[in-house]
Amino acid sequence: DTEVTQTPKHLVMGMTNKKSLKCEQHMGHRAMYWYKQKAKKPPELMFVYSYEKLSINESVPSRFSPECPNSSLLNLHLHALQPEDSALYLCASSQSFRVAGTGELFFGEGSRLTVL
């Protein structure tokens, strides 16, 4: 079983809706990530939080808004999305790079988003 939990597993939303994806981990990791994955493509990095601060934003449109309320939680707020935003959204965590040796990424099962 994955130690990174994502909800919801599936989400269908209209272009005017506001929704949120949630992610939780209890491994004590201090780096958390959002990735977007389209069919037959590798995961594409969106955001990274390190010690609850946004450290990487890969030029993601403002209709995606990340939030890290505490070291265990990561949210992705969605507003005014487009049909091309339909994808699998993956949350991941890792030991922070401040720890000697980098840790691998642990992924949640993903939230499959469909924008109508």
* 48 binding other proteins? (CB under 8 A): yes
The nearer residue to other proteins, 80 or 105, going by C-beta atoms, is 105
- Shortest Å distance, C-beta 79 to other proteins: 25
The nearer residue to other proteins, 41 or 77, going by C-beta atoms, is 41
* 106 binding other proteins? (CB under 8 A): yes
* 114 binding other proteins? (CB under 8 A): no
Distance of CA 62 to the CA centre of its chain: 15
The per-residue DSSP string of 37-87 comes to E-TTS--EEEEEEETTEEEEE-S--TTEEEEEEETTEEEEEEES--GGG-E
* 66 binding other proteins? (CB under 8 A): no
C-beta separation of 34 from 55 below 8 A: no
Distance of CA 77 to the CA centre of its chain: 10
- Residues in touch with other proteins (CB under 8 A): 2, 31, 33, 41-45, 48, 50, 55-56, 88, 90, 94, 97, 101-102, 104-110, 112
